[in-house]
Amino acid sequence: MPEGDTVFRAARRLHTALAGKVLTRSDFRVPAFATLDLVGRTVDEVVPRGKHLLHRIGDLTVHSHLKMEGRWDVYAPGERWRRPAHQARVVLDAEDVSTVGFTLGVLEVVPREQESEVVGHLGPDLLGPDWDADRALANLTAEPDRPVGLALLDQRVLAGLGNVYRNELCFLRGVLPTRSVGQVQDPARTIALASRLILANRDRNARVTTGVDRPGRRFWVYGRAGKPCLRCGTPIRHGELGDSELTLRDTYWCPRCQT
């Protein structure tokens, strides 16, 4: 699933392409909004909120979430799409640009004044202008018995982290993802490190947590099951962690560096 830095870049591309422009085409290919026509309305801005995207268009907001397979593409008028047309969920065009949302996990239109109903549950946004480390820390430590690997993925705690960052943060802090939040020494350092990592990758196409931008060396543990730890050489282990079978996500750890 795309993480907050990926969504931030998508929002920036869409904002650059559409902000201040009048829509010349509006094609919603989902039943609930199939008759909605935004032609003639001006796009005020496109902003990210954690892993969510918000197109603010007059008094309406187009809310989308990429989930596992979604993406937004920007095209020149008449340019061939890079995905099949049947995967398109919405097309928003201006005179000089075409934008298409493919296989979006969530697509809805709400009054702008009701945005809080779709994103108000989110914790502080790591890449947002109102990032609040103290509130994120309070959210993280509110359930001290919860595994830290679950708490870091909970968008109600802080918004923007996904599975890559969850695994890498636990390695860098030297803790197993299954360790309870209450057993993590100085959780404020975990919050601060999460902020530094995602900020460092905000403008990068290839995410890097090791400082080495080469294939196979970009991550400490994520996706490296069975391979030697880049720090101590111990084989990286792999498992799954979630609140239920529906939320199980891959976890990776070094049994020597993480305790």
Active-site residue among 49, 51, 166, 218?
A: 51
Does residue 2 carry a catalytic annotation? yes
- Dist CA 66 CA 107 (whole Å): 9
> Is this structure's pTM higher than 0.85?
yes
Query: Is 245 designated active site?
Result: no
- Pairing of the two strands 249-253 and 237-241: antiparallel
Cα 242–chain centre separation: 18
pLDDT in tens for each of the 259 residues of the chain? 689 999 999 999 999 999 999 999 999 999 999 999 999 999 999 999 999 999 999 999 999 999 989 999 999 999 999 999 999 999 999 999 999 999 999 999 999 999 999 999 999 999 999 999 999 999 999 999 999 999 999 999 999 999 999 999 999 999 999 999 999 999 999 999 999 999 999 999 899 999 999 999 999 999 999 999 999 999 999 999 988 876 889 999 999 999 9
Indicate the DSSP class of residue 82.
S
**Spatial contact of 14 and 74, defined as CB atoms under 8 Å apart:** yes
pLDDT at position 246 is: 66
CA–CA distances in Å: residue 189 to residues 20, 45, 50, 157:
40, 34, 20, 15
Residue of 57, 60, 66, 62 whose CA lies nearest to 9: 66
SS3 call for 79: coil
Distance CA 147, CA 169 (A): 13
Q: Is 249 a catalytic residue?
A: yes
Active-site residue among 2, 147, 177, 187?
Answer: 2
83 catalytically annotated: no
